[in-house]
Amino acid sequence: MPENLRHAHERNDEVLERIYIGRRFKNDTERLEKLFELYTKMTAAAKAKPVVKATRVI
């Protein structure tokens, strides 16, 4: 991977990690735990919302 692209990826990771937890993740395990936590919350919220089907007016 070109050096400038690798640096851009690292910078992007740092910004997102600071948004999520206010600091860099200690390791990949901590990162995965947070991502699964967010996924669980997201999918639980989606299941809680009733699905409303649109009706077609003719």
In a domain, 19, yes or no: yes
Cα(37)–Cα(26) distance, integer angstroms? 16
Q: What pLDDT sits at residue 27? A: 93
The tokens of 43 are what? 């999918």
DSSP string, 29-41: HHHHHHHHHHHHH
Q: What pLDDT sits at residue 47? A: 77
In a domain, 11, yes or no: yes
For the chain, what is the domain count?
Answer: 1
In a domain, 53, yes or no: no
**Residues ≥6 apart with Cβ < 8 Å to 14:** 24
In a domain, 20, yes or no: yes
Q: What pLDDT sits at residue 46? A: 77
Cα(27)–Cα(13) distance, integer angstroms? 12
Q: What is the pLDDT of residues 2-57, one digit of tens each?
A: 999 999 999 999 999 999 899 999 999 999 999 999 999 999 887 776 666 777 77
* Verdict on whether the full-model pTM lies above 0.95: no
